Amino acid sequence: MNMQLHIQKMSKEDIDAVYAIESSVSPTPWSKDNFLKTFDAVYSYSSILKCDTIIFGYVLFLLIEDEVTILNIAVAQEFQSKGYGQMLLTHVHTFARNQKVKTAFLEVNEHNVQAIHFYIKQGYEIYSKRPKYYVNGDDALTMRYFFV
Ligand SMILES: CC(C)(COP(=O)(O)OP(=O)(O)OC[C@H]1O[C@@H](n2cnc3c(N)ncnc32)[C@H](O)[C@@H]1OP(=O)(O)O)[C@@H](O)C(=O)NCCC(=O)NCCS
């Protein structure tokens, strides 16, 4: 058993635990079905940050040609603000760089100040707005990151 903090591929058996985190931390949580569909989608990648049997966080992303899209990223409440989100995003960036990706994209709820600060700290910039993007009518900000 791997007792150290590490990132590994998500498996279908992880989805209940991932969904429990999602329901408790996300302002507009994905359904379990969203996870299952993304998990099976072509070009999609899903990773978890784990220590022993405990899942600290996860990230799901799409990699198509020279673009990566961050679909979802979260860290369980009790483990937030300890650098684990940054660890997950660095994992995506390292993978993307190895695939010669040029740009990363994502959407974030305009009221999710914590996540917006998080992405800006990682070098992302806001470049547009998608009105009423979320089911509750909130707008999304679109953000991007250029790999150099
Ligand atoms: C966004 C999220 C993944 C960040 O993960 P995290 O592990 O808490 O973040 P980290 O500890 O790696 O923080 C890295 C940097 O982000 C910024 N940051 C993180 N939390 C922040 C907060 N609450 N307020 C302001 N800045 C914050 C800081 O600049 C921080 O660097 P610092 O600690 O050196 O100042 C996490 O807060 C989360 O799961 N949020 C709920 C789900 C969500 O909204 N996901 C985004 C969907 S688009």
pTM strictly above 0.85: yes
Report the distance separating Cα 49 and Cα 9, nearest Å: 9
Residue with the two structure tokens 């995003």: 89
Q: Which atom of ligand 1 is nearest to the CA of 119?
A: 16
Q: How far is the CA of 76 from the centre of ligand 1 (A)?
A: 11
Mean pLDDT, to the nearest integer, of 20-45? Answer: 94
Q: Give the tens place of pLDDT for each residue, 73-110.
A: 999 999 999 999 999 999 999 999 999 999 999 999 99
At 131-141, the pLDDT tens digits run 999 988 999 99
pLDDT of residue 11: 94
**Domain positions in the chain:** 6-146
Fold topology of 6-146: Aminopeptidase (3.40.630)
Q: Whose CA is nearest to atom 15 of ligand 1?
A: 118
